[in-house]
Amino acid sequence: MSTDEFDVVVVGGRCAGASLAIRLARAGLRVCVHDRAHFPSDVPSTHGIQPAGVAILRELGCFERLATLTEPINRGTLVVDEARIEFDDADELLGAPMLNLRRHVLDTVLLETAAEAGAEIRTRTAVTGLLQEHGRVVGVLTGDGPVRARLVVGADGARSTVARLAGAEEYRRTPPGRLFVWGYFEGTDHPTGHVWLGRIGDHGFLASPTDGGCFMAVVAVSMERKAEVLADRPAAFAEGLRDWPELDAVVASGRRTGPLHVVPEWHGYFRRSAGPGWVLVGDAGHFKDPTPGQGIADALRQTTTLAPVVVRGLEAGAPDLDDALRRWWSWRDRDAWAMYWFARDLGAAGPLPLLQREVLRRVAADPRRSRHLLQVLNHDVPPGRLFTVPFALTALAGALVTKKGQRTRLLRDAGTVVADELRHLRPPRAS
Ligand SMILES: Cc1cc2nc3c(=O)[nH]c(=O)nc-3n(C[C@H](O)[C@H](O)[C@H](O)COP(=O)(O)OP(=O)(O)OC[C@H]3O[C@@H](n4cnc5c(N)ncnc54)[C@H](O)[C@@H]3O)c2cc1C
């Protein structure tokens, strides 16, 4: 068996791995991407890409191609119970439209772009082991033999083999709030380039046109009802849609193609994400509640900061590289921290607490704050800058007057919010 040698081996070739490989190969590094999948192939996930992620796809030179495959999404309706926000200028407000592309389309374009940039792509090749020398990772083992590298990147998703083999433990785990049920529909009568995102009663929603002229509709159902959902997906999906009649009407105007998909198992986590000769990016290092649809844009965002760290670190040599990767891991935690808890709250099972409903109602009633909320969802503005303590107190005071019969609930909600905020004040320090 031969031993190949590269500057960087990337395990996993989707939005995290392929986009990192594009940057590293363009910087002149010898990069090899291994993925056990045979592309084009899907991952069990819905796939709305936030404008911040689309802006990165534009920078990588993939946007023009992707935009010929689906409708760019500039308009949308965001509903949280009685709060409703309409927008029609995502490109102008957030710097890019949204896109919604099935992963067999998105990831294949990214991987082809990585190959064009000069990365060597080895699909249908599983990484099964790490090569180690003197406590340092120096490559990987694959079915085709060992491959040596100065750095191994685990971009291999939530069940990361690299993380397991490197002993990267999880911290700040959160349980799943809902399970996601979704389908694709043909011939729907939907407005062009429009997304529906919401949470009504006990259901969450995401729906928009996707590639191939299809319409994707997702209903998120509380985890307590998992057995019921798995026993009858169409019934659970239909029941959820009834909570949002206007979306229900759009879905009903088309015809479902294929079965309804379900992801019944997931949890939120951070993982130790750097060590001697290795680093984790994308879901391999961190996963948050999918309700606000951040994962793809987050993976792309992480690679924009990781790539220059790798390029400079490899020039500087092993000890500096390892230090720089540890600092990058610390940045990743700080960058993801506030959104992690925001996503957890947005996706939590059960109806939204009364105080949060009141806060969101006030956000929706104020055009400036509504725009801020869209910027929060786009990871441009931290949630704490919109949901400030004075704003929450004003909402609480107003609700205590108008909802006299519910004062105990409101005060209990306020207590929970304060305790939560204190617990989640700061991300842990990367060690
Ligand atoms: C139910 C659900 C809904 C979601 N909805 C959205 C959404 O609407 N919008 C959004 O932005 N995000 C969403 N996400 C999150 C998003 O799917 C992830 O954040 C994103 O896929 C992360 O990409 P990645 O490249 O890090 O990992 P992945 O996409 O998981 O790719 C990992 C790759 O590694 C490969 N691999 C794994 N192990 C090995 C090995 N040992 N050897 C070789 N290759 C290996 C796999 O084959 C795979 O191709 C959702 C997630 C879930 C679970």
Average pLDDT taken over every residue of the chain: 95
The Å distance, Cα 249 to ligand 1 centre, comes to: 31
**Residue 1 reports pLDDT greater than 60:** no
Two tokens at 64? 């023009």
In this prediction, residue 429 carries a pLDDT of: 66
Q: How confident is the model at residue 415 (pLDDT cuts 50, 70, 90)?
A: confident
Domain tally, the chain: 3
Nearest CA to ligand 1 atom 26: 282
140 located within any domain = yes
80 located within any domain = no
On whether both 160 and 36 belong to a single domain, the answer is: yes
The model's pLDDT over 359-395, given as tens digits with 9 standing for 90+, comes to: 999 999 999 999 999 999 999 999 999 988 888 889 8
294 located within any domain = yes
The model's pLDDT over 204-238, given as tens digits with 9 standing for 90+, comes to: 999 999 999 999 999 999 999 999 999 999 999 99
Say yes or no: CB of residue 47 within 6 Å of ligand 1: yes
The Å distance, Cα 155 to ligand 1 centre, comes to: 9
Decide: residue 109, CB within 10 A, 0-12 exposed, 13-18 middle, 19+ buried. Answer: buried
Say yes or no: CB of residue 293 within 6 Å of ligand 1: yes
The DSSP letter of residue 289 is: -
On whether both 277 and 393 belong to a single domain, the answer is: no
Say yes or no: CB of residue 299 within 6 Å of ligand 1: yes
DSSP, collapsed to helix, strand or coil, labels residue 218 as strand
Which of 342, 366, 393 is the C-terminal boundary of a domain? 342
On whether both 167 and 28 belong to a single domain, the answer is: yes
Which atom, in ligand 1's list, is nearest to the CA of 126? 42
The DSSP letter of residue 428 is: P
62 located within any domain = no
On whether both 186 and 256 belong to a single domain, the answer is: yes
Mean pLDDT to the nearest integer, 400-427: 84
305 located within any domain = yes
On whether both 28 and 112 belong to a single domain, the answer is: yes
Which of 263, 289, 305 is the C-terminal boundary of a domain? 263
On whether both 296 and 157 belong to a single domain, the answer is: yes
Choosing from 22, 42, 156 the residue with most ligand 1 atoms within 8 A of its CB, the one to mutate for a pocket test is 156
Q: By residue range, what is the domain housing residue 419?
A: 353-423
The model's pLDDT over 291-342, given as tens digits with 9 standing for 90+, comes to: 999 999 999 999 999 999 999 999 998 899 999 999 999 999 999 999 999 9
- Whether residue 40 is preceded by a cis peptide bond, meaning omega within 30 degrees of 0, is yes
On whether both 219 and 242 belong to a single domain, the answer is: yes
pTM here?
0.96
Which atom, in ligand 1's list, is nearest to the CA of 282? 26
Nearest CA to ligand 1 atom 37: 156
Which of 318, 342, 366 is the C-terminal boundary of a domain? 342
